[in-house]
Amino acid sequence: MTINNGVITAYVLNASLSWVDVDDVAQVAALALAHPEKHGGQTYRLGYDAITFGEMAELMTAIVGQPFRYEPAAPQVFLEAMRSAGAEMAYMNCVYDHRKRYAAGTIPGADDTFDNSPMLTADSP
């Protein structure tokens, strides 16, 4: 994803993806470090909203007060840009395949959301 002059470009077309606020990630990480007896060895999936990049552009416009818009780009555009830039194509092909699957909606759980915040952020160990 890139943002340039209010234009958000991502190579997942109009896929809906699960998102989590970085503050929530930080809070869960801090609690896990503070209470290893409770959180040690656990895996937590975080994702509290499932939205498209178009919906994200609308949110950013409302929050920042400046216009944003989403211009979807096909995953193939990403792959060609990486090839032209001389990137390591073994890795870039993997990234391309991942983005292509997002765009096609074939990654199971890509837009899953979870209601685990109250349990994860409880103050008691």
- Of 19-28, 59-68, 105-114, the one with minimum mean pLDDT is 19-28
Tokens of 40: 């040690």
Please state the domain count of the chain. 1
Tokens of 114: 């979870």
Q: Which of 59, 65, 70, 54 is nearest to 7 (CA)?
A: 70
Q: What range does the domain containing 32 cover?
A: 2-120
In a domain, 125, yes or no: no
pLDDT, tens digit, 9 for 90 and up, residues 28-75: 899 889 999 988 999 999 999 999 999 999 999 999 999 999 999 999
In a domain, 76, yes or no: yes
pLDDT(117) > 90: no
Tokens of 89: 């194509």
Across the range 103-122, mean pLDDT stands at 88
Instruction: State the pLDDT confidence band at 125, using cuts at 50, 70 and 90.
Output: very low
- We report the CATH number of the domain holding residue 85 as 3.40.50.720
